[in-house]
Amino acid sequence: MSEMSVMKALNLAMFEEMVADEKVICIGEDLGKQGGCWGTFTGLQEKFGENRVLEFPILEAGYTLFSVGAALGGYRPIVEFMFADFVTLGFEGIVDIAAKIRFNSGGVDSCPVTFVLPQGGGGKSGAHHSQSVEAWFANVPGLKIVAPTTPADIRAYYRAAIRDDDPTLFIYQRATMGLTGEVPDVLDEVPSLAKAGKIVKTGADLTVVAYHRALLNAMAAAAQVEEETGKTIEIIDPRVLIPFDKEIVFDSVKKTGRLMVAHEAPERGGFGAQILSWVVENCMKELKAAPVRVAGVNSIIPFGDLEKYLYPSVEDMKAGILKALK
Amino acid sequence: MSEMSVMKALNLAMFEEMVADEKVICIGEDLGKQGGCWGTFTGLQEKFGENRVLEFPILEAGYTLFSVGAALGGYRPIVEFMFADFVTLGFEGIVDIAAKIRFNSGGVDSCPVTFVLPQGGGGKSGAHHSQSVEAWFANVPGLKIVAPTTPADIRAYYRAAIRDDDPTLFIYQRATMGLTGEVPDVLDEVPSLAKAGKIVKTGADLTVVAYHRALLNAMAAAAQVEEETGKTIEIIDPRVLIPFDKEIVFDSVKKTGRLMVAHEAPERGGFGAQILSWVVENCMKELKAAPVRVAGVNSIIPFGDLEKYLYPSVEDMKAGILKALK
Amino acid sequence: MNFSNEELLEMYSDIVKSRVLGEKIVEYIFSGKIAGAIHPCLGQEAVSAGILTAFKKSDIITYGTETHRAQTVMAHRVGWKPFIAELLGRTGGCNDGISGEYHIHDLKNGQLPAAGALGGTWAEIAGFAWALKNDGKKRQIGFAPYGDGAISQGATYEAMNIAALFKLPILFFIENNGIAMSTPVENQSPLENLADRAAAFNMKGVTVDGDDPVAVAEAVLNGMELAANNEPNVVEVKTMRWEGHYVGDPQKYRDLSYKEDLDSICPVVRFEKRLIELGILDDEIIKAVRESQTKEIVDGFDEGLSQTIATKEQVLDYNRVYSNNAGGEL
Amino acid sequence: MNFSNEELLEMYSDIVKSRVLGEKIVEYIFSGKIAGAIHPCLGQEAVSAGILTAFKKSDIITYGTETHRAQTVMAHRVGWKPFIAELLGRTGGCNDGISGEYHIHDLKNGQLPAAGALGGTWAEIAGFAWALKNDGKKRQIGFAPYGDGAISQGATYEAMNIAALFKLPILFFIENNGIAMSTPVENQSPLENLADRAAAFNMKGVTVDGDDPVAVAEAVLNGMELAANNEPNVVEVKTMRWEGHYVGDPQKYRDLSYKEDLDSICPVVRFEKRLIELGILDDEIIKAVRESQTKEIVDGFDEGLSQTIATKEQVLDYNRVYSNNAGGEL
Ligand SMILES: Cc1ncc(C[n+]2csc(CCOP(=O)(O)OP(=O)(O)O)c2C)c(N)n1
Ligand SMILES: Cc1ncc(C[n+]2csc(CCOP(=O)(O)OP(=O)(O)O)c2C)c(N)n1
Ligand SMILES: [Mg+2]
Ligand SMILES: [Mg+2]
């Protein structure tokens, strides 16, 4: 075990997979001497060479499509969008091309590309550098969406995403880049993307499902509420959104009878609605109260410190928990 | 009143708005002599000239962005994507640019562009010509999504979308292009996009919310179930998805105690989850059973007749209604 | 002209085959046996014949897509019967008749996935060409064709930029038939010769007569050779679309007077005359070629039509969508 | 050189102003008074000075965005105080300090919306230029600048294609500082002169020394004149970025030996020498200009910092997002 930041965990995961499989390549902007805009590629080009860490011009549409071609040619590309927001430019390559490769090949050719999307607030850089994008892709069959939070999970699930033979969006929260945590020195087994849900904390009175910064805020809020009310709250980090680990959530809700879902993306049309729907469809009888969503404001993200008004705070989480407990 | 097809209603709406406001312009491929791929632009360039019906090269990204610039220059562009699927290429222009114009201008400049998206199955043209796209945009604040079904509603709400000062996706189902219905000769008032829900049919035992082809199939299925069971089903066509007319749905569910939501887009991550969530959050006490969603299969759309296996049929709707009634 | 008489005769055979295939597609669509809007190649047969000749003559292996009018090249790649069956939506198709001609895909035969949405495949093929080069596969290249309309898409420039920067073995091929759906090429691009775009990427570009299969074959062979030496380049061929955009298109947007004397612009007739002048072809061979090509294609259609259509279970097969159990339910 | 002594002195004043603004931005970022990653213009001051000179000298009205290093031009458009306040996130900013410098937008002053995502604004400005032309507004044009990196995006070619086809009054301006974040221009484009891309659209393109404000001004004036005659065209200026991509960037990816003798490559020093040679400038004026420009900018920062920051209510104002009550809840 060693203490490690999210940034280092991202770097380690790529390093390990590049060692394990020489077909793993990296594609994106400024991946060479700069080691990527976030430093997460530090040392990789030096170690593995320019033919494994490919520095591209600023043409996200082009290199998204390029990555699919390279995948068909036997490679396993990791494609970084510097900010998740810029995936708008890769939308055709991901949604129309990558997601449909396997189907149109009759199940013969897979498309093992990992699209890396550093997303969300915290950088104070406004409307084009702070969005959360998971729901934009959640209605596109053929894709998988991986969204871990802690350094250890990031390391493990990033490796899992790279290894997975299907096109996968690996989404992490940029604001938590400096978050540290214990990470095992060796990962005994790279996990499957199936059944990836994790009970972060057990509890009896409410099930909270949250990821990324919303998970951290929900944990802080839950601690306060437990302290103040004596109720206990079960917190689940799904870690993977598609395929979603429904059973772990259903089991928990069947126990607690209550649900709160939280994420940083805007509430309307967010992935929380899908989680809530699954729970209601399957645990209606056990639900003691209406489930609650806590999410971002349905608005555009302002520049600078003002962004804080858009994202759900610890207080918002607390209010949501109290509402769900009613 | 006259009997009119969806195709003619689309044409009429544009014609009327182009007469009413000389700043309304059309942008897209093959809009000139061909009158658009679907014939919906027939006669418009002849009548209004090449400076109001602009025929573009095949560069969806470019003309999406162009339309925003023209809007800032005082125009009110209608932008057709030949197939809704191709909006992947306009994603940046719509999501990053159009949706954020007003906010970043401090609420000064609007962006009155209507993006027209003929979507869904029926054309048998496979994976890139048959998708339903509303959920891809539902988590993007700043956009409105209009999705009427009948010729009369298409005429009225297309006009409303064009008139609306904000960027609006006008989505219709390509397979229903030939659907006919009574359309008033003169539209006394162009409706607002707010509170657009319509009770297509009243009933006491179940509320069905559906749009596009799913609405037509749900209506057919409801008739069968009513016949067979003696129960009555209330059917609501939201007509506009954002802003969603929640009250009309809540009122209905509070009366019937049951809900089914249906659309043609894949179930997972579809807009139905959002509708279901709103209802559960607000009508939990009144719900007598778990709400049900009936939607497209979470898979890729095959070519030719095989596409039928992907979309919810009348039988699927019937099964859903019976389940919701349990 | 560097082609032997045998090669010229095979080229002739291929141009006739393209013509017959085009005619049969029209026929089978009108009789309701083919679904979807298929784009006929009539008038553009010399392009496919030239490409096929180049592919056969060269030792360079190509991986690529085709334009949606180069069905003859698709069929050559994936096999005639699997191609026709796919076109007909039958289980004998190269993808069980499920993906369709729009999405023809058969990697082992060099057929990279065709896309219904225009604009993306050049960059996709660039990625594949990069893989070929990186694997040290000599004399294997990417073949990236598009029409005069499709190349308006921004990603095609991005693909050329990538190819030039990484010196990829790739041939960009522009089948300029003067029109995109209803839009004349003058309204797509402000260039006399579309191959001139190559200069914006410091690449070579040539434009040749696309109604002359020999000129097409020579240009493609040259382009393939350059590509095999990691010199990406552009070949444009100029031809003419006779039919509508899709079968049944009334073409109201277009002056149709050219239809009055198709023979005078027909690439098949023109090539016939040339080969007759050269003493390689006579009426008897003409008849025989037409008959044998027709038979092969009609037999293919008959065989295709005798096959089953995929079942619901085949269409909704989980393994067709995801590679492993971690996909979520269909 | 078609500039009067007064014009040259004003050009000098503008180059100094750009320098001071760049220095102050660095200073205020390090002292924590400016949020976000702002891109300093140090080394590229002649570009902004040249643009400003052209704008002031011509009777042609421009509507455009700026590159993210041309803060001086943004400030000139929207007004210095509103610009600085926006940069500082204060309510006196041109968008109440809510949109930020990344998204500066002030239509009435010709400032079209700046985008954080690179690639889209050229096509957006083309749409605006079309509106100008269609409205019969003579001598009004779109001004569309981008860096050497941003022009790799496919939509920039699409924009040029649109402009050429519709003969739009638009000047495409490439501020080539040799680098995009950490990527040298050679790894972005395989062209010696990026203006050569214009030929792919049958447009004129010129490349000039971007460290000479006079050359920049002349090229921009010419390009504006062409644009005003509905001849879209490209002007490239070559300059050099001194600082990192953003303030605080350690630039480990780059040979920093040029920093040892900045004076030898400094566009301000070079212009000073030239004007001294011409007898227009002396040490006294140099000092006076520097002082007055510094004062104006520092006063602007002081005034900005004295203003309030937008409230939650202002940020979450429904009317800032939607134009009418049909938007759904925030
Ligand atoms: C992204 C996208 N936009 C539009 C279309 C519709 N479309 C299909 S073919 C075509 C015309 C293509 O013209 P060209 O490239 O010249 O090929 P041709 O049909 O002439 O062979 C169009 C507009 C599409 N398939 N994809
Ligand atoms: C779509 C998109 N991709 C990447 C970025 C990140 N980014 C911001 S500026 C920049 C470099 C731009 O280089 P250039 O155009 O040469 O301008 P310069 O910074 O040199 O002035 C990059 C990669 C972005 N903002 N948008
Ligand atoms: Mg064409
Ligand atoms: Mg640069």
Residues whose CB is less than 8 angstroms from the CB of residue B176 and which lie 6 or more positions away in sequence, other chains included: B6, B122, B149, B212, B213, B216
Picking from A85, A219, A239, A222, the residue whose alpha carbon sits closest to that of residue A151 is A239
- C98 in contact with A at a CB cutoff of 8 Å? yes
Residue C281 inside a domain? The answer is: yes
Disruptive mutation site among A65, A101, A115 for chain C (greatest number of C CBs within 10 Å): A65
Q: In a 10 Å sphere around its CB, with 0-12 CB exposed, 13-18 middle and 19+ buried, how is residue C264 labelled?
A: exposed
Please say whether the beta carbons of C46 and C213 come within 8 A: yes
SS (H, E, C) chain D: CCCCHHHHHHHHHHHHHHHHHHHHHHHHHHCCCCCCCCCCCCCCHHHHHHHHHHHHHCCCEEEECCCCCCHHHHHHHHCHHHHHHHHHCCCCCCCCCCCCHHHCCEHHHCECCCCCCCCCHHHHHHHHHHHHHHCCCCCEEEEEEEECCHHHCHHHHHHHHHHHHHCCCEEEEEEECCEECCEEHHHCCCCCCHHHHHHHHCCEEEEEECCCHHHHHHHHHHHHHHHHCCCCEEEEEECCCCCCCCCCCCCCCCCCHHHHHHHHHCHHHHHHHHHHHCCCCCHHHHHHHHHHHHHHHHHHHHHHHCCCCCCHHHHCCHHHHCCCCCCCCC
pLDDT score, position D35? 80
For residue D138, the tally of other CB atoms under 10 A from its CB is 12
Give the closest ligand to the alpha carbon of residue D181.
Answer: 2
Q: What Cα–Cα distance (Å) separates residue D308 from each residue in C8, D56, D86, D93, D299?
A: 82, 33, 12, 10, 16
Q: Under DSSP, is residue B7 helix (H, G, I), strand (E, B) or coil?
A: helix
**In the predicted structure, residue A322 carries a pLDDT above the cut 70:** yes
Mean pLDDT of chain B: 98
Range of the domain at D256: 5-316
D110 in contact with B at a CB cutoff of 8 Å? no
- By Cβ distance, the residue of C118, C154, C187 closest to B55 is C187
| C197 part of contact set with chain D, CB < 8 Å | yes
Q: Give chain C's length.
A: 330
The H or E element that residue C140 is part of is strand C140-147
Mean pLDDT value of segment C294-314: 96
Query: Is A277's CB within 8 Å of B282's CB?
Result: no
Domains belonging to chain B, first-starting first, are 2-183 (3.40.50.970), 198-325 (3.40.50.920)
Instruction: Kindly give the distance from the C-alpha atom of residue C152 to the centroid of ligand 1, in angstroms, as a whole number.
Output: 10
- CA C106 to ligand 2 centroid distance, Å: 38
Interface contacts B/D by beta carbons within 8 Å: 159
Q: Is the CB of D181 under 6 A from ligand 2?
A: yes
Instruction: Choose one of D47, D181, D191 to mutate for the ligand 2 pocket test, by most ligand atoms within 8 angstroms of C-beta.
Output: D181
Can you give the pLDDT at residue A172? 98
Rounded to the nearest 10°, the torsion over CA C95, C101, C103, C109 is 60
CB contact under 8 A, A62 and C158: yes
Contact between chains at A105 and C155 (C-beta distance less than 8 A): no
CA pseudo-torsion sign C233, C238, C241, C245: positive
pLDDT at A64: 98
In this predicted model, what pLDDT tens digit does every residue of B274-306 receive, in sequence order? 999 999 999 999 999 999 999 999 999 999 999
* CB-nearest partner of C89 from B61, B268, B305: B305
pLDDT in tens for each of the 326 residues of chain B?
999 999 999 999 999 999 999 999 999 999 999 999 999 999 999 999 999 999 999 999 999 999 999 999 999 999 999 999 999 999 999 999 999 999 999 999 999 999 999 999 999 999 999 999 999 999 999 999 999 999 999 999 999 999 999 999 999 999 999 999 999 999 999 999 999 999 999 999 999 999 999 999 999 999 999 999 999 999 999 999 999 999 999 999 999 999 999 999 999 999 999 999 999 999 999 999 999 999 999 999 999 999 999 999 999 999 999 999 99
Query: According to the model, what pLDDT value does residue C1 have?
Result: 61
Residue A128 annotated in active site: no
Nearest to B166 by CA among B231, B105, B86: B105
Residues of chain D predicted below pLDDT 50:
none
Give the three-state DSSP class for C330. coil
Structure tokens at A11: 């770097």
Q: D125-135 pLDDT, tens per residue?
A: 999 999 999 99
Within 6 Å (CB) of ligand 1, which residues are found? B 29, 58, 60, 82, 86, 89; C 39, 67, 69, 116-119, 146-150, 177, 179-181, 241, 245
Q: Which residue has 């780059």 as its token pair?
A: D254
Q: Does this model's pTM top 0.90?
A: yes
Domain count, chain D: 1
Strands B240-242 and B144-146: antiparallel
Structural domain contains residue D72:
yes
D36–chain A nearest CA distance, Å: 5
Residue D260 lies in a domain: yes
Task: Check residue D1 and give its pLDDT.
Answer: 61
Report the candidate in A15, A37, A104 with the shortest Cα–Cα distance to residue A68.
A104
| Residue C36, pLDDT score | 73
Whether residue D146 is contained in a domain is answered as: yes
Closest CA to A268 of D322, B264, B275: B275
Question: Does B247 contact D at CB distance below 8 Å?
Answer: no
Distance CA A108, CA C99 (A): 12
pLDDT digit string (tens) for C144-201?
Answer: 999 999 999 999 999 999 999 999 999 999 999 999 999 999 999 999 999 999 999 9
Nearest residue (by CA) to ligand 2, atom 25, is D117
**pLDDT computed for residue D37 by the predictor:** 83
Residue D103 CB less than 6 A away from ligand 2: no
Residue C136 forms contact with B (CB below 8 Å): no
Contacts of B144 in chain D (CB under 8 A): 326-328
Q: How far does the centroid of ligand 3 lie from the alpha carbon of residue C148, in Å?
A: 5
Beta-carbon contacts of residue B119 (< 8 Å; ≥ 6 apart):
B83, B84, B85, B131, B132, B133, B134, B171, B172, B173, B174, B212
pLDDT at D36: 74
Instruction: State residue D34's pLDDT score.
Output: 87
Kind plus residue range of the DSSP H or E element containing B127: none
- Name which of C179, C195, C170, C210 is nearest C49 in CA terms: C210
pLDDT bucket at C34, cuts 50 / 70 / 90: confident
Task: Answer whether residue D329 is part of any domain.
Answer: no
Whether residue A280 contacts residue B276, with contact meaning beta carbons closer than 8 Å, is answered with: yes
B105-114: b (≥16 Cβ within 10 Å) or e: bbbebbbbbb
A chain contacts of residue D102, beta-carbon cutoff 8 Å: 125-129, 303
Interchain CB contact of C330 with A (< 8 Å): yes
Task: Establish whether residue D150 lines the binding site of ligand 2, counting it when its CB lies within 6 angstroms of any ligand atom.
Answer: yes
Cα separation, C177 vs C146, in Å, equals 11
CA of D243 to the centre of ligand 2 (A): 15
Q: Which atom of ligand 2 is nearest to the CA of A86?
A: 1
DSSP string, C209-269: ETT-HHHHHHHHHHHHHHHHTT--EEEEEE----S-SSTT---TTS--GGGGGGGGG-HHH
User: Where is B80: in which H helix or E strand?
Assistant: strand B76-80
CB contact under 8 A, A59 and D99: no
**Please, which residues 166-185 of chain A have a Cβ atom closer than 8 Å to chain C?**
166
* Ligand 2 atom nearest to CA at A29: 23
Question: What is the predicted pLDDT for the residue at B155?
Answer: 98
Question: What residues of C are in contact with residue B81 (Cβ under 8 Å)?
Answer: none
Position D282 in a domain: yes
Give tens-digit pLDDT for C77-106.
999 999 999 999 999 999 999 999 999 999
Residue of chain A whose alpha carbon sits nearest to that of C121: A65
pLDDT of A179 > 70? The answer is: yes
- Chain B residues in contact with C179 by the CB 8 A cut-off are none
CATH number at residue C61: 3.40.50.970
Using CB atoms, which residue from C105, C125, C162 is nearest to A104?
Answer: C105
pLDDT at A176: 94
